[in-house]
Amino acid sequence: MTPTVLFVCVHNAGRSQMAAGYLQHLAGDRIEVLSAGSQPADQVNRVAVAAMAEEGIDIAAEQPKVLTESAVREADVVITMGCGDECPFFPGKRYEDWVLDDPAGQGIDAVRPIRDEIRRRVEALVAELIP
């Protein structure tokens, strides 16, 4: 069975989009990837798009999506990123909270280290989920 991972941050515009982009890139179709936000932004953060493009990963076409209960139910692993109490909780799921700086309003030099930390964590997650 293919595991499903849901990345959640408030605006679904930066951190969760970068994480989803990496997971899609590294795992391909071996992991189902979802991302959403409790208050989705109008568009994906341009600086996040640029930072991922440097890694050869195109997230420019992604759209921030609203977090639904069904997305959380579908997911085997729910990874939250700084949305605190706004993230719904369902018993029996594996939850992880990745504490990461918010790239919103930051320049590319500030976003690269956030991107690189997300990559490290996604690589570790892939290693756990796909033995």
pTM of the model: 0.94
Angle at 128 between CA 47 and CA 111, to 5 degrees: 15
State pLDDT tens for residues 45-98. 999 999 999 999 999 999 999 999 899 889 999 999 876 666 666 777 889 999
Q: Is 119 exposed, middle or buried (0-12, 13-18, 19+ CB in 10 A)?
A: buried
Catalytic residue list contains 87: yes
Catalytic residue list contains 40: no
At the second CATH level, the architecture of 4-129 is: 3-Layer(aba) Sandwich (3.40)
Q: Annotated catalytic residue: which of 31, 72, 87, 118?
A: 87
Q: Annotated catalytic residue: which of 5, 6, 8, 9?
A: 9
Catalytic residue list contains 29: no
Q: In the Cβ-directed half-sphere of 71, how many Cα atoms lie within 13 Å?
A: 18
Q: Annotated catalytic residue: which of 83, 100, 111, 122?
A: 83
| Spatial distance between the Cα atoms of 124 and 131, rounded to a whole number of angstroms | 11
From 26, 22, 47, 46, select the one nearest 35 (Cα to Cα). 22
